[in-house]
Amino acid sequence: MDEHVPLARIQLLLRSVALALIALSLSPRTVAAKPQFAAMFVFGDSLIDPGNNNDLNSLAKANYVPYGVDFNGGVPTGRFCNGKTIIDYLGDLLELPLLPPYTSSSVNSGNIVGGVNYASAAAGILEETGQNLGERFTLSEQVQNFDNTLNQLKGQMNEQELSHYLASSLVVMILGSNDYINNYLQPSFYTTSYFYTPEDYADLLIQRYRRQILVLQSLGTRKFFLGGIGPLGCIPNQLATGLSSPGKCVSFVNDYVGMFNVRLRSLVDQFNRDYKGSIFVYGNTFAALGDIIRNASTYGITVTDRGCCGIGRNQGQITCLPFSSPCTNRSQYIFWDAFHPTAIVNQILASKAYGGTTSDCYPMNVQQMAQI
């Protein structure tokens, strides 16, 4: 008898139990519960954009069918997914209302107490990132938009109330992917790869990122979840370049983003040392998504190398074409289009952010942060 079989069965059983717990934790609630944070403020790119680019002069939009086919009654909202984003699922777990986009009329009318989502497709840490796709709210502009929200909140709370509210709120930041796929890895549009080694470029990104994070901290926010970059070398867009053998990710791309992630995790350590009244958490997106790719079958996923909609691997990969017909078995795909995960993957990633181990979130998860 093979002595490794029992261990393999145990590992499979543990993974099955974990998946069951994920499903249970994300099931619809029957009793209203108190939100675990006062609010959530979100900064990022198309992975979590809820529709802020809809009215911009930009190629980076998702306000058309088939985007949103499994959300909002099938009416597109601008989310780059078939359903909910990571932020939507994380909000469910935290008992927070669905966050409005910064550009929505509800924000303009002052409906902001539960938080606001400022994320913008094609945005990056660097100002120039994504400019090849047109208008977007850069990170610095998103931070400025948050300052505008603060001015609105000052009309709804006194100084002491606002200070407590901000300190009890969660800031989520998920950026960096576009600084590679819509900057460093596109030498025909950008010069960064000519002037920076991969190591120096990662240093540059962290330096600029650090500056904006500390602006938010100086404005009164105290709890931060900083999501790392996922394995970009494994997304259909990069697989379509032909720079990897069939069935393999583009290793040098993953190496590049790994340099950024290592530095981001170190930045979290530095922040937690230097800013004692604040909490900073690193979300290990690279490991979490990598686990889903490597162990797809244990998550009920069968397709790992192409999007549910878009163009096939050998023809190049893009976002979904307007009114195209996506796959019907969406829960069996990791990727919705060439760049973005399906709702089922977003659900798994949100659960890891909320209740994962230190290999998912360091030095604690979001649920633990809420209790401090």
- Residue 244 has what pLDDT? 86
Does 357 fall in a domain? Answer: yes
Whole-model pTM: value is: 0.90
Radius of gyration, CA atoms only, the chain? 20
Kindly report the CATH number assigned to the domain that includes residue 98. Answer: 3.40.50.1110
Does 16 fall in a domain? Answer: no
Structurally, the chain folds into a number of domains equal to: 1
Does 129 fall in a domain? Answer: yes
Does 2 fall in a domain? Answer: no
Out of 46, 120, 169, 177, pick the active-site residue: 46
Cβ neighbour number for residue 42 with a 10 Å cutoff:
28
Which residues, at least 6 apart from 312, have a Cβ–Cβ distance to it below 8 Å? 306
- Residue 311 has what pLDDT? 60
Kindly list the averaged pLDDT for each block of 10 residues, start to end, along the chain of length 372: 46 49 46 84 98 97 96 95 98 96 86 95 98 97 97 94 97 98 96 98 98 98 98 94 89 98 98 97 98 96 91 57 93 95 98 97 98 94
Does 6 fall in a domain? Answer: no
Which domain does 143 fall in, by range? 33-371
- Residue 350 has what pLDDT? 98
Rounded (5°) CA angle 222-223-228? 130
Does 24 fall in a domain? Answer: no
Out of 49, 88, 337, 360, pick the active-site residue: 337
- Residue 135 has what pLDDT? 98
Q: Which amino acid is at 358?
A: T
Does 94 fall in a domain? Answer: yes
Out of 49, 120, 179, 340, pick the active-site residue: 340
**Maximum C-alpha span of the chain:** 72
Give the 3-state secondary structure of the chain: CCCCHHHHHHHHHHHHHHHHHHHHHCCCCCCCCCCCCCCEEEEECCCCCCCCCCCCCECCCCCCCCCCCCCHHHCCCCCCCCCCCHHHHHHHHCCCCCCCECCCHHHHCCCCCCEEECCCCCCCCCCCCCHHHECCCCHHHHHHHHHHHHHHHCCCCCHHHHHHHHHCCEEEEECCCHHHHHHHCCCCCCCHHHHCCHHHHHHHHHHHHHHHHHHHHHCCCCEEEEECCCCHHHCHHHHCCCCCCCCCCCHHHHHHHHHHHHHHHHHHHHHHHHCCCCEEEEECHHHHHHHHHHCHHHHCCCEEEEECCCCCHHHCCCCCCCCCCCCCCHHHEEECCCCCECHHHHHHHHHHHHHCCCCCEECCCHHHHHCC
Structural contact between residues 321 and 312, judged by C-beta atoms closer than 8 angstroms: no
Q: Is 337 a catalytic residue?
A: yes
Does 71 fall in a domain? Answer: yes
